[in-house]
Amino acid sequence: MRLISQKGWGYVNVEYENGTITMHYKSEGTRIIYSCDNNSDKSTIMAEYSSMEKAEKVLEDMTKVYGSYISCNGGPGILQGSGYQQAFCFTPPKVFRFPADDEVEV
């Protein structure tokens, strides 16, 4: 899945599967940070929210988006009537754009 940062942090477009998402709480807000290499200190700020609850809600929504897609790799299909019918499946692009702080309702 592709992750796209908030507008305030520039345009960052990364692969969810190749990194780690973490939350860092600071007195001025909670940042969601993407690290592409777990063995390195290099990381990118993807979003910032005014409360921990908003950041948690966004990460919850991101998890739902990631899990809401199916893919089919072929196979015998579905038994229908007197024979098998191949199911129509495709994998749409998976994209999650981090919403602005004022767009998140908790």
Q: Are 22 and 36 in contact (CB under 8 A)?
A: no
Residue 79 has pLDDT above 60, yes or no: no
Q: pLDDT tens digits, residue range 30-76?
A: 999 998 766 666 788 899 999 999 999 999 999 888 877 655 555 55
The residue ranges of every structural domain in the chain are 2-100
DSSP string, 9-71: G---EEEGGGSEEEEEEETTEEEEEEES-TTSS--EEEEEESSHHHHHHHHHHHHHHHHT---
**What is the token pair recorded at 9?**
């942090």
Task: Give the rounded percent of residues in the chain with a pLDDT score beyond 70.
Answer: 71
pLDDT at 11: 85
- Whether 97 shows a pLDDT value over 70: the answer reads yes
